Chain A
Amino acid sequence: MIDYHALAPELILAGTLVGVLLLDLLPVEKYWTAVLALTGLVAAAVPLLSLALLEEGERSLFSGSYVVDDYALVLKGLFIVTGFIALLMSVGYLELDRYYQGEFYFLLLASVIGAVVMASSRDLISIFIGVELVSIPGFLLAGWRKGDARSNEAALKFFIIGVLSSAVMLFGMSIVYGVTGSIDFAGIAAASAGLVDEPAMILGVLLVIAGFGFKVSAVPFHFWVPDTYEGSPTPVAAFLSVGSKAAGFVGLLSLCFIAFAELKEIWGPAIWILAAASMTIGNLVALRQTNIVRLLGYSSIAHGGFILVPFAMAASFDQVALGDAFSATVTYLLIYAFMNLGAFAVVIAVSRKINRGDIAGWAGLFTYAPGLATLATIFFFSLAGLPPLAGWFAKFVMFRAVLGGGANTWAVVLAAIAAVNAVVALYYYAKIVKSAWMDPVPESIASADARETQLAPSLSLALGIAAVGVVAVGFFPQVLAFFGDATRALALGG
């Protein structure tokens, strides 16, 4: 007996996806494929709400390898909202440049389904399928601008690194299976108690972490990010930096806190290094960027590091602190989704106006597009973590998580590294804002033209949603912290 209610979001998304592909064959305006895709995403959110409101606790399907609990629901919600905003950003972008629209939406939806599946996966095979389903459409989407050599480069790099990381991950998984004899997370957790010193197990866990390290673009597995983001169509870069990255974190969360719950001594220190390196290198390299999308690429690497921080000290955490760390990661992801999508949406809007991608081109934005300049300020300073914009709370829960549970020296050092990085990051975000508000308009930009360029209504909607989210959460963080908190049970073996 299959619990169709629990599977409803996935089923609706799958149906929409097929519908989009079919609709694309009919002689209708391509516009409608986007409408269908958006409607499908909204419809998929309905069973999520009903499942959440019923509060029947955890629903377990397929002999425990697919679980719908609060954690899964919150993250599915995140992926659907991310997909929705990314789609809104794509519509105008694709229409203007006459790209293949139907297929684009189809692939984006496929990627969203993959992420939604990952949130519920509780065994190695289904999580691996989820990862592939997220990534493979991404390879295609990254190369969507066929005529552009950069886009081809983006897709090829992403593809090669993506396949490599999958191979590494799969190799690790096979070792884990070989040692524990189990593919479901609960079985692995039960069989791995006391295996902390087993060399094969250490290798397996580290390889799996490295595989996901590529997906979340943690340093030193980050090399593909700037090139891929720069070359891909910007809405795709936005989706990769939020949706695909969050999917990677979901994989890490589920594996680390459930399957490898007994092996914290192995993955804790490894993630400590990934977190410290990602924050530091991401931020330092971002300082030197002149292209806005590359800058956002490095900034997203750095944010990946911040999100990893709560994981790093897990080995020394008690139950409460583990719960805090888990909910901090989820809360950070939720807030990051809004602010980073918003930042990318502003970049799309501004690039449309100025027809170039370097930060110097943003000079004087305020004089001809005060609204966009204000939005850019909101999103970039939120990414920097300044109150009263949502980003402060993300940074706050991150600090709180790492210092919780009887903080030792390593925790304090990591927190200090994160604090210094938060300041470094401010510099490059402020550089963009400075350009937009305080510099004179460059002569090459005819501000009359720029003034008249209209934004696609869907892009304005995306900007509006993200901005309201960032400001409202900044003042009342409880709105999202509630969802982060709801997932806490998972870390406690719930």
Chain B
Amino acid sequence: MEWFDNGWGLSLVVFLPLVGAFAVMAIPKTNELVAKQTGMFFAAASFVASVVAILRFDFGNTARFQLDTDLTWISSISSNFHIGVDGISLPLVVLSTFITLLAMIYSWDHWPEPHNPKMFIVLMLVLATGMAGTFVALDLILFFVFFELVLLPMYFMIGIWGDRTPMKLPGFKREVETRLYAAIKFFLFTLFGSAFMLLGFIALFFRSAPHTFDMLALSEMGRAGLFTGSFGFWVFGALFLGFAVKVPMWPLHTWLPDAHTAAPTVGSVLLAAIMLKLGSYGFIRISLPILPQEAREWAPAIAILAVIAIIYGSLACLAQTDMKRLIAFSSVGHMGFVMLGIATLTDVGINAAVIGMVAHGVITGLLFFLAGSMSHRYHTREMARLGGNQKLMPVMGGILAFTAMASLGLPGLAGFWGEFMALFGSFNPLDGLSLGLFRSAMVIGAIGTVLTAGYMLWMLQRVNLGEPKAEWAGREFHDVDRFEMAAWAPLVLAILAIGVFPKIVFAATDGAVEQLVRSAFGG
């Protein structure tokens, strides 16, 4: 297995889906079955490779980048193909291959209109490469390319297979279809952020000595205090724009409800479960270690925005009538907890952020699957028209109840750790950060958890409980089918496993986070 550890393993994880995308492209459009099998094969192969990566990963030394390689890529700008995983990125890589595989399984016979599975599979596979690639990249330019690679497939996924309901835009006479509006909004927001992020990367390159795009070398220089003063302030700001749009942090979140709601089921799942993490991962991997001094300066601002996101997201959820849009807004709140954890700049807080990301990935991924399947059956997502789902489809109702409980942070399920530890971390932030501010943040965040419980239970009550509405009387609903079961059962298990035994994530992250905090902030 020597070859696997020399970068080939991770390259397989990242590029197998891309190879698969080209393979599927070569299959004639009429031959749907072969296209599906090929897509499934490559998604599964990538997942298996990531599992092998877990086995080959040395958990005794999680702070070190393992399975890495460093090859010349674009010599004229001294950018390298430098990839590797440490304890922070490993869980996220596995999460991305895992969710991609489940999305592929779910898609097997759930194709949104206008059908065309071949094209859809190609996009999913390209997306998989972009997501996994972002988590393993250790070179800023490589990171940028992967980070942007996810935009195109997602744009097409929303724009082609998205929600066709017409909507009216303020200021425009003509109605547009929701999918078109959401797709371009998502695209423009993200590109706006990443354009400035790229400027920040280039600025770092020119300040570094010797000039490099290598994240590890830049982190060393950052610790040595090379990127400080107003230079550091502006660079952190530029990176902040790029990552904060993706997370998304309030007030840059407005693309999220539209994109998540308009996207086809699998698109929402991939967006919520993985793509949002690209932003928060960027903070942990790039902003904090490379610009530690500036991170201290910005931390209070991030904490305030995070708390606003928690409260705002929860209140917005309480105002929703559309089930899918409610779940979308819940992401704003949950990612607020992740960002609050990061803002504390402590061991506990960043661990909370990583486990929060993983948990949000599996939980909200599952919620979007459920919302998709339900609207497929009821042909509506209006919670006022749903109700009594538990009676009509007991299994699906059960899973929905379980997942909603996990999402509101019930102890014993995955969602608990991220929320609890983020609040715990902000009780005791890094020395030098304002105690008053972070403890207030903790209190407000705690109120947020109550609101979270409130809207989740309210959603359950409206959708799941009670008697079925008259309009569904006499209708037969097909409960969870086998593809749905195959896609959801692993997620249910993951939620339980992480909830009961969080060490499966912490075993990887703990050492790496501790090392990060110690070297960047001396804490």
Contacts and interface: CB of A to CB of B under 8 A. Distances in A.
B206 interface: yes
B180 A434 contact: yes
Interface in B295-336: none
Contact of B195 (A400, A422, A427): A422
A482 interface: yes
Given A386-B148, A419-B195, A437-B159, A399 B187 contact: no
A163 to B, nearest CB: 39
Interface string A391-405: 011001101100111
B188 A423 contact: yes
B385 to A, nearest CB: 28
Contact of B75 (A406, A426, A427, A478): A478
A403 B180 contact: no
B33 interface: no
Contacts of B145: 387-388, 392
B318 to A, nearest CB: 33
A484 B145 CA distance: 21
B386 interface: no
Given A327-B76, A438-B159, A438-B180, A396 B188 contact: no
B45 interface: no
Interface string B54-75: 0000000000000000000111
A446 B145 CA distance: 40
B202 A399 contact: yes
Given A407-B206, A423-B191, A427-B184, A416 B199 contact: yes
A176 interface: no
A400 B77 contact: yes
B160 A386 contact: no
Contact of A419 (B144, B160, B180, B199): B199
Given A386-B148, A386-B152, A396 B77 contact: yes
Contact of A403 (B141, B149, B159, B199): B199
Contacts of A399: 198-199, 202
Contacts of B188: 423, 426-427
Given A386-B152, A437-B160, A438-B160, A419 B76 contact: no
B22 to A, nearest CB: 11
A430 B183 CA distance: 10
A419 B201 CA distance: 13
Interface string B372-407: 000000000000000000000000000000000000
A72 interface: no
A430 B184 contact: yes
Contacts of B180: 434, 438
Nearest to A367: B114
A420 B160 contact: no
Given A430-B187, A434-B180, A404 B206 contact: yes
A481 interface: yes
B156 interface: yes
A477 interface: yes
Please indicate which of the listed interface residues B141, B184, B191 has the most CB atoms of chain A within 10 Å of its own CB: B191
Given A430-B155, A477-B74, A400 B160 contact: no
A484 B184 contact: no
Contacts of A229: none
B195 A403 contact: no
B80 to A, nearest CB: 12
A427 B184 CA distance: 8
B192 interface: yes
A429 to B, nearest CB: 10
B151 interface: yes
Interface in A469-494: 476-478, 481-482, 484-485
B203 interface: yes
Contact of A387 (B75, B76, B148, B187): B148
B196 interface: yes
Contacts, number: 88
Contact of B151 (A327, A386, A396, A404): A386
B179 interface: yes
Interface string B143-165: 01100110110011001100000
Contacts of B111: none
Contact of A392 (B148, B159, B187, B234): B148
A219 B494 CA distance: 58
A387 B234 CA distance: 25
Given A426-B191, A437-B159, A481 B151 contact: no
B475 to A, nearest CB: 32
Interface string A414-447: 0110011011001100110010011000000000
A412 B152 CA distance: 28
Contact of A423 (B75, B141, B192): B192
A381 interface: yes
B205 interface: yes
A431 B180 CA distance: 10
Nearest to B193: A423
A434 B75 contact: no
B76 A478 contact: yes
A381 B152 contact: yes
Contacts of B74: 393, 476-478, 481
A434 B195 contact: no
B76 A396 contact: no
A430 B188 CA distance: 10
Nearest to A419: B195
Contacts of A381: 152
A404 B78 CA distance: 14
Please indicate which of the listed interface residues B144, B192, B199 has the most CB atoms of chain A within 10 Å of its own CB: B199
Contacts of A327: 76
Contacts of A416: 196, 199
A411 B389 CA distance: 60
Contacts of A415: 199
A481 B179 contact: no
A186 B203 CA distance: 34
Contact of B179 (A397, A406, A438): A438
Contacts of B195: 419-420, 422-423
Contacts of B144: 387
A369 to B, nearest CB: 13
Interface in A350-398: 381, 386-388, 392-393, 396-397
Contacts of A397: 77
Contacts of B234: 412
A406 B211 CA distance: 13
B202 A403 contact: yes
B30 to A, nearest CB: 13
A11 B72 CA distance: 40
A397 B144 CA distance: 14
A325 to B, nearest CB: 13
Contacts of B77: 396-397, 400, 481
B184 A434 contact: yes
Contacts of B148: 386-388, 392
A478 B80 CA distance: 11
Contacts of A438: 159-160, 179-180, 183
Nearest to A415: B199
A424 to B, nearest CB: 9
Contacts of B151: 386
B159 to A, nearest CB: 5
Interface string B64-97: 0000000001111100000000000000000000
Q: Which 6 A-B pairs have the closest CB atoms?
A: A419-B195, A481-B76, A387-B145, A387-B148, A423-B192, A485-B76
10 contacts: A387-B144, A400-B202, A405-B206, A407-B206, A420-B195, A422-B195, A427-B184, A430-B184, A438-B159, A482-B76
Interface of B: 73-77, 141, 144-145, 148-149, 151-152, 155-156, 159-160, 179-180, 183-184, 187-188, 191-192, 195-196, 198-199, 202-203, 205-206, 234
Given A327-B76, A419-B199, A423-B191, 13 more contacts: A387-B145, A387-B149, A397-B77, A400-B205, A403-B202, A423-B188, A434-B159, A438-B159, A438-B160, A478-B75, A478-B76, A481-B77, A484-B76
